[in-house]
Structure 1
Amino acid sequence: MTLQEIAQAVDGTLTFGGEIRVDEISTDTRKIRGGSLYLALKGERFDGHDFISKAIEAGARAVVSDRPVECSCPVIQVPDTRLALGTLAAYYRQKFSLLTVGVTGSVGKTSTKEMIAAVLAQGFCVHKTQGNFNNDIGLPMTLFGLEPQHTAAVIEMGMSALGEISYLSQLAKPDLAVITNVGVSHLENLGSRENILKAKLEILDGMSPNSKIVLNADNDMLQSVRDSLGERAVWFGIEQKDGFVFAEHIEEDGDKTRFDFVCGGERYPAMVPAVGIHNVYNALAGFTVGMFSGIAPEKIVAAVGEYQNSGLRQSVREYDGIKVIADCYNASPDSMQSALSVIRTISCSGKRYAVLGDMLELGECSGEMHYKVGKLAAKAGLSGLLCYGEEAKQIARGALEAGFDLAESCTSLQEAVNWLHRVLRPGDAVILKASRGMHLESVIESAFEKAGGQ
């Protein structure tokens, strides 16, 4: 894009150089390449305007700023660079005619996004959100990654307050949307599950009135809008079997889960190379999107069978014969329950353990919800439970009061590492689960850094 085109798109004032073209947009001086447009963002703890000279030294061809800047390169001045980022991303998005799928939900956004992308790759050249770039900075940067060869995009949308998904959806303009579930994540900010539901449904704000939204029929809050959404909603489920597709004959098979998709009276045997019922829900969402996007069911089954978890989300590795399931990205009561289901059913020749850390952003309900997780953990067939963090002490209390006397608590990384070294033996399995802010991956690195993972 030329600087003049960009200035017009964001309603900014360009100092000079309207015909100069830029190759990419950058907000990070550490990642700037020659020919970039540097957009100076201001956050709570940083101000990108302080690094404009560094950006120019690194090869930035022009700058977007919210104040006058004296420099040798062109400057586009705007009232708010963060809003300009979104406005420019929306403008750039409109240059592409492609199938766009928006994904949100309290739990499972990223893994469902990965599943949908794998399914759509059977018939499209897919662009997808990398990692969890799902906020008002990450989503625009995802849109800037679109290239002419892309024929589909899977865009993840996160939020912590009302209005945020509405904004993101209006940038991305989804043709299809998926809400995985409505739980209690961000309850501290939103106050009630009803408000969380309202926030998730904002994904409709950027969609045409006739577009479809794919919903989990087994979620009580989503069921509450069945009548109001009418034929616009497409349902999948396991317990509820009256939707577009459901799954049955679900069986854990070692580190795999086998089940049947049932759709339109036809049955499609499938396998996902991961354990836990939540992965079946991810597959159902992927199946539904695939079918509505023209992918043959046999190809969808093949894609599901090749699915891989990403990043810190329930990856399974072995260290000196110990199976370690790392699920360190996020945590809520629902995902904790899923994690306990995984450790209860995963194949291992030895004992099963869990390290469960704090679930953040639960507000006044935090103590009660941690306590309930402890009661669930008491029934998970564990040989030991470590509760990591101040809030997690309530998990230990719940487990102990439910009659499970093998629960311990700690608040330091070294204590957690020492516990793992003390209890684990070859043949054992352990799952580590907590909110991202607890940095449980550091516990794994410290505990197993000397062992080569497989």
Structure 2
Amino acid sequence: MIPISIKALQTLLNADLVGEDVVIDALSTETSTLSHGSLFVALVGERFDAHDFVITAKQNGASALLVSQHVSCDLPQLIVENTKLALGQLATWVKVQCDVKTIALTGSCGKTTVKEMLASILSRKGQTLYTANNFNNDIGVPLTLLRLQPSHDYAVVELGANHIGEIEYTTKMVKPDIALVTNITAAHLDGFGSLEGIARGKGEIFEGLADGAPAIINLNSNGGLYWNSVLESKQLLTMSESDKSADYHALNVHQIDEGCFQFDMVTPVGIFPIILSLPGEHNVANALLAASAASNVDGITMKEVTEGLASVAALKGRGMITFPRPGLRLIDDSYNASVAAMKAAVDMLDSFDGDKVIVLADMREMGKYSGTVHQDVAEHLNKASIQTIITYGSASAVISEHCGGQHFDNKDKLIAYVVKLIKIKHTVSVLIKGAHGMKMSQVVAAIEEATTC
């Protein structure tokens, strides 16, 4: 974080100051990550109030506090009406201080992969800040921006949301130079209410763009008429894996080693061969999105684009392939699940030869659409040549019913069954996927442990 005095923050945030002036050079909303010189931001949520932990914050090295009420602590205190909004104000100020080319992205799925691809490309040219982990909501985005330094050349900021208005708030904070939406599909339906709500919510990202700035959309999955007005003043760029009318599209797509793909990328400046380091044909579309954004950054050539896409490291829980023992291909896609992501996982596993096992858990936050979207996945899975289908949860039971699978309501019993199964099947590919709240990473860990004992 850029060093700043508490006195300067008082003016910036229109806050009351209690205590002496100090300089802070770090910030945290968690007491466990504080260090000397840090500002502790006491956020308030539905089920917590961080004002209760200011003494712990002091003990862990905090030098000052950002609070919404006076607290009994001898550290300097900045008192504001709302600490979350003040966090956003501070992040907005930091972004203005750093002259950094910024790409913002959102979408129903693929955001994190595209973000990692962009970071891999831009890092070849300059110092790049990019969203860590899942810091993509109305708290995570400002925390990401607060990591900016004047030495950064580029920033890649992922914007997530589960309701209308959240991206409108964060995109105005980020003020991107380029913005893109990966796709629009069934995810967080409980909060958005409908696919129309998702389209409107994701389209808010373009409100942070200046007139004439590049706005990138997926011709196969976008907001359509809902985006027309906001895109009128932008430089519209399109991509598609299959539609040859798109500015960026793919030709000669074919699978190579370990589920990865190779293709020719058609761009406004020529055709370039692309080899992907991440498995799954869905990553062809992700690569086109990343390439379309990166190639519109001044100074980035197709050399950086092709090299960056060829060297993206897989993330745990997001389609990472490992071999815990000879003969066992374990595909850990356990981090989260939407309809499109579930179907992509099915297709990826189906692309491998030999015996295959898929373990799927519920997709969450689907509201009244839960039955419909799980049935949709079931119908897609039924077309694949996957020999063993296992499901866990409540909503996913329909998948096993439709596809002749084995369903479990108890995770311990599920794990015992899967571990026994992989001991019987010597040569097999196993894919694990489900909503983050279903904690399917526990199944992955159990398989890894069982194969190393």
What displacement does 1:214 show? 1.0
What displacement does 1:56 show? 1.0
**TM-score for the superposition, normalised by structure 2:** 0.94
What displacement does 1:71 show? 2.2
Rounded to whole Å, the distance in 2 between the matches of 1:13 and 1:225 is 41
Q: Find out whether 1:378 has 2:378 as its counterpart.
A: no
Q: In structure 2, what is the equivalent of residue 90 of structure 1? A: 92
What displacement does 1:187 show? 1.2
Secondary structure (helix, strand or coil) at the match of 1:355 reads: strand
Q: Find out whether 1:332 has 2:338 as its counterpart.
A: yes
Could you report, residue by residue, the CA deviation over 1:56-104 in whole angstroms, capped at 9, with x for unpaired residues? 1222111111111232221110111111111111111111001011010
Secondary structure (helix, strand or coil) at the match of 1:6 reads: helix
The 8 Å contact of residues 215 and 222 in structure 1, kept in 2 or not, is answered as no
The 8 Å contact of residues 217 and 240 in structure 1, kept in 2 or not, is answered as yes
> In the alignment, which of 195, 205, 208 is matched to residue 207 of structure 2?
205
Q: In structure 2, what is the equivalent of residue 402 of structure 1? A: none
Could you report, residue by residue, the CA deviation over 1:187-215 in whole angstroms, capped at 9, with x for unpaired residues? 12222211111111111222212211111
The 8 Å contact of residues 316 and 332 in structure 2, kept in 1 or not, is answered as no
For the structure 1 residues 158 and 117, does the alpha-carbon distance in structure 2 shift closer, same or farther, using more than 3 Å as the test?
same
Secondary structure (helix, strand or coil) at the match of 1:451 reads: helix
Q: In structure 1, what is the equivalent of residue 279 of structure 2? A: 275
Q: Find out whether 1:420 has 2:412 as its counterpart.
A: no
Q: In structure 1, what is the equivalent of residue 178 of structure 2? A: 176
Rounded to whole Å, the distance in 2 between the matches of 1:266 and 1:35 is 51
Rounded to whole Å, the distance in 2 between the matches of 1:107 and 1:223 is 21
Structure 1 unaligned runs (5+)? Answer: 400-404
Could you tell me which amino acid in structure 1 is paired with residue 219 of structure 2?
A: A
For the structure 1 residues 451 and 148, does the alpha-carbon distance in structure 2 shift closer, same or farther, using more than 3 Å as the test?
farther
The 8 Å contact of residues 373 and 398 in structure 1, kept in 2 or not, is answered as no
What displacement does 1:13 show? 0.5
Secondary structure (helix, strand or coil) at the match of 2:97 reads: coil
The 8 Å contact of residues 372 and 398 in structure 1, kept in 2 or not, is answered as no
What displacement does 1:363 show? 1.2
Secondary structure (helix, strand or coil) at the match of 1:168 reads: helix
What displacement does 1:223 show? 7.7
Could you tell me which amino acid in structure 2 is paired with residue 112 of structure 1?
A: V
Query: Quick check: 126-135 or 270-279, which moved more?
Result: 270-279
Secondary structure (helix, strand or coil) at the match of 1:273 reads: strand
For the structure 1 residues 447 and 10, does the alpha-carbon distance in structure 2 shift closer, same or farther, using more than 3 Å as the test?
same
Q: In structure 1, what is the equivalent of residue 265 of structure 2? A: 261
Rounded to whole Å, the distance in 2 between the matches of 1:452 and 1:175 is 48
Secondary structure (helix, strand or coil) at the match of 1:136 reads: coil
Rounded to whole Å, the distance in 2 between the matches of 1:37 and 1:341 is 47
Q: In structure 1, what is the equivalent of residue 14 of structure 2? A: 11
Q: In structure 2, what is the equivalent of residue 314 of structure 1? A: 319
For the structure 1 residues 229 and 238, does the alpha-carbon distance in structure 2 shift closer, same or farther, using more than 3 Å as the test?
same
Q: Find out whether 1:368 has 2:372 as its counterpart.
A: yes
Rounded to whole Å, the distance in 1 between the matches of 2:239 and 2:16 is 49
Could you report, residue by residue, the CA deviation over 1:87-129 in whole angstroms, capped at 9, with x for unpaired residues? 1111111110010110100011111111111111122210000
Could you report, residue by residue, the CA deviation over 1:268-321 in whole angstroms, capped at 9, with x for unpaired residues? 111102222221111101111121013111221111110122231111111222
The 8 Å contact of residues 317 and 325 in structure 1, kept in 2 or not, is answered as yes
Structure 2 unaligned runs (5+)? Answer: none
What displacement does 1:36 show? 0.7
Rounded to whole Å, the distance in 1 between the matches of 2:311 and 2:447 is 30
Q: Find out whether 1:122 has 2:120 as its counterpart.
A: no
Rounded to whole Å, the distance in 1 between the matches of 2:414 and 2:228 is 45
The 8 Å contact of residues 118 and 307 in structure 1, kept in 2 or not, is answered as yes
What displacement does 1:224 show? 6.7
Q: In structure 2, what is the equivalent of residue 434 of structure 1? A: 434
Q: In structure 2, what is the equivalent of residue 344 of structure 1? A: 350
Secondary structure (helix, strand or coil) at the match of 1:236 reads: strand
Q: In structure 1, what is the equivalent of residue 76 of structure 2? A: 74
Number of equivalences = 444
Rounded to whole Å, the distance in 2 between the matches of 1:356 and 1:158 is 23
What displacement does 1:228 show? 6.8
> In the alignment, which of 37, 43, 59 is matched to residue 39 of structure 2?
37
Could you tell me which amino acid in structure 2 is paired with residue 434 of structure 1?
A: G
Q: In structure 1, what is the equivalent of residue 158 of structure 2? A: 156
The 8 Å contact of residues 313 and 326 in structure 1, kept in 2 or not, is answered as yes
The 8 Å contact of residues 109 and 156 in structure 1, kept in 2 or not, is answered as yes
Query: Quick check: 123-132 or 224-233, which moved more?
Result: 224-233
For the structure 1 residues 265 and 14, does the alpha-carbon distance in structure 2 shift closer, same or farther, using more than 3 Å as the test?
closer
Rounded to whole Å, the distance in 2 between the matches of 1:394 and 1:450 is 29
Q: In structure 2, what is the equivalent of residue 111 of structure 1? A: 113
Rounded to whole Å, the distance in 1 between the matches of 2:89 and 2:316 is 30
Over the matched positions of the two proteins, sequence identity in percent amounts to 29
The 8 Å contact of residues 216 and 222 in structure 1, kept in 2 or not, is answered as no
What displacement does 1:452 show? 4.4
What displacement does 1:10 show? 1.3
Name the Cα RMSD after superposition: 1.7
Q: Find out whether 1:305 has 2:303 as its counterpart.
A: no
What displacement does 1:430 show? 0.9
What displacement does 1:357 show? 0.7
Q: In structure 2, what is the equivalent of residue 240 of structure 1? A: 243
The 8 Å contact of residues 237 and 247 in structure 2, kept in 1 or not, is answered as yes
Rounded to whole Å, the distance in 2 between the matches of 1:65 and 1:72 is 13
